[in-house]
Structure 1
């Protein structure tokens, strides 16, 4: 096992102990690029987080497919994500956009042609939010016609509070970051029941990502308190979970996580190699329309 070149916004240099299978997908990254318009506070901008920078992480983890999620700092100017899709290779890269209700049908078609396959609502904090809860249902109805999904980064409390809205959505729904179940509540939080019921409808997905967001143990404790939650989701819907690095880890402003540790953590979350291949290859191919 040898070290790789240092990756911006990632600590450590070793390669993961777990080998990425052929066609493995990192289903959650962000690209930041000052060539494109900024939205909200410029303090949220990250330098050295372009598509070229991300290639160094691909070399380190061995993933070949990527899903770029529009970052909040670029607002609804999804050209930054479209450009990154082309830079990383349109045949192996997809995107998740951020739009508002006034988006035209022509723009949605343009986004689809550029590799977009979903829209995201980042509402866990109101700071610089581009969208709001009133926009979720009308936009979900529009993108459902394109075969897209709605991706939700909501707090567990928000998920529980908006359970009725979630049940009405017609399209595929993807919950970010283990559905943000907090510690120490974890599986006892009301949001677990809401998401679990939605998983039974056959069109709800979970992203196994963002271990550091709600872990009380953190990197020093190997994020061990996330294992029970991740394994619960993997048992309930093994065909509807995907994995993402969340690079460049925009919530972690002072100490960046070790991406090799995060990739190896998937081995704890999904110990069976065949099941892990499903998470990394087969499931994202279906969700994101990889050929």
Structure 2
């Protein structure tokens, strides 16, 4: 079985750079049946462009759709979402300007997760903290963005620790053997993206068990997002429900949720974001636990 759905062929050392085109998100998402609580937070979303104001990186792995902050907030209003955490998109590289502009414009409802180069300074971190950034993301998937060495990442973590930030980790399950000891020793909170990029058939398997073990650590968090990426059955992505429910059972106070709009580098048909909200109701049927995941947990981690 071919586990991962993305295959990007890129040559960065020479003059050729092949970028994957990125389709736009669902243009008319349905209104969800699930009513979200007040101050519900989308803890994983992106903004991209507009390119005329915020140019894309020349080294990007994909050509994104225009997904500016106004479109994101309109979607949030449609879905009943009050707060959001903007995760810096790799198509902008280390230029966090689009995210910074959004955080400055909507300081009460938005927080951010940045991408930082290994040589980032304390002064740069201070400036990001002042506008609402509360974490830094590390993408270990070379098909999207080359990750720094673990030594370089440790240097960044030492610099962000005094600010109370956390790390966001995006990696494939096959990378667990090389990362799990390092993750276990991380000295600050860390969030695993998109249910660890598990596939639906991974439930009960070795990779699933590894993530369950990771979640026993009291500094490890999990995002029950990305069902549309891992599902092998397609909409309504029901094969991902058992995985999410188990993660919530282990760490209900360290679980986050997000829609991952505008679903960058997704190679299958774009999901209906209203249906993703309703899927949350299936993944977390208990209303009290759902409120913790949507309101209390992100408020605690991001300082809303």
Instruction: Report the TM-score when normalising by structure 2.
Output: 0.86
Compute the displacement of 1:59 (Å).
1.8
| 1:111 correspondence with 2:128 | yes
Deviation at 1:161, TM superposition (A): 2.5
- Unaligned residue ranges in structure 1 (runs of 5+): 1-7
CA distance in 1, matches of 2:68, 2:60: 16
C-alpha displacement at 1:168, in angstroms?
Answer: 1.7
Q: Are 2:81 and 1:57 equivalent residues in the alignment?
A: no
| 2:227 aligned residue (192, 207, 211) | 211
1:195 to 190, 203, 211: 211
Alpha-carbon separation, structure 2, partners of 1:263 and 1:272: 14
2:57 to 39, 53, 62: 39
> Where does 1:96-245 land on structure 2 (aligned, <5 Å)?
96-129=113-146, 131-190=148-207, 192-219=208-235, 222-245=236-259
The whole-number CA distance in structure 2 between the counterparts of 1:130 and 1:47 is 24
Instruction: Determine if contact 2:62/2:265 at 8 Å carries over to the other structure.
Output: no
Distance 2:213 2:61 in 1: 38
Q: What whole-Å deviation, never above 9, does each CA across 1:221-277 have from its counterpart, x for those lacking one?
A: x11110110000000000110110000000225621100110100011100111111
Please give the secondary structure, in 1, of the residue aligned with 2:204.
Answer: helix
CA distance in 2, matches of 1:134, 1:158: 17
Q: Deviations over 1:82-120 (max 9, x none)?
A: 112223x11111000000220010000000001100000
1:56 CA drift (Å): 1.8
Given the superposition, is the C-alpha separation of residues 53 and 12 from structure 1 closer, same or farther in structure 2, using an over 3 Å criterion?
A: closer
Q: Deviations over 1:122-174 (max 9, x none)?
A: 12234443645443322222212211000011001112321111112101010
Instruction: Give the direction of change, closer, same or farther, for the CA distance of 1:112–1:98 in structure 2 (3 Å limit).
Output: same
Does the C-alpha gap of structure 1 residues 203 and 173 become closer, same or farther in structure 2, counting only changes over 3 Å?
same
SS class of match (2:30): coil
- Distance in 1 (CA, whole Å) between partners of 2:268 and 2:81 is 26
CA distance in 2, matches of 1:65, 1:154: 26
Report the equivalent of 2:35: 19
Paired with 1:130 and 1:164, the residues of 2 have a C-alpha distance of: 17
What SS does structure 1 have at the residue aligned with 2:163? Answer: coil
Equivalent pair of 1:11/1:259 in contact (CA under 8 Å): no
Structure 2, unaligned runs of 5 or more: 1-23
User: How far, CA to CA, are the matches of 1:187 and 1:30 in structure 2?
Assistant: 31
1:82 aligns with 2:100: yes
Cα distance in 2 for partners of 1:198, 1:281 equals 23
Per the TM alignment, residue 195 of structure 1 is displaced from its structure 2 partner at its CA by 2.9
Counterpart-to-counterpart distance in 2, 1:187 and 1:153:
21
Q: Distance in 2 between matches of 1:121 and 1:239?
A: 23
In the aligned structure 1, how far is the partner of 2:119 from the partner of 2:38?
Answer: 40
- After TM superposition, which residue ranges in structure 1, 4 or more long, deviate above 6 angstroms? none
Residues 38-96 of structure 1, C-alpha deviation per residue, up to 9 Å, x if partnerless? Answer: 22456723233000111221121110100000000111111111112223x11111000
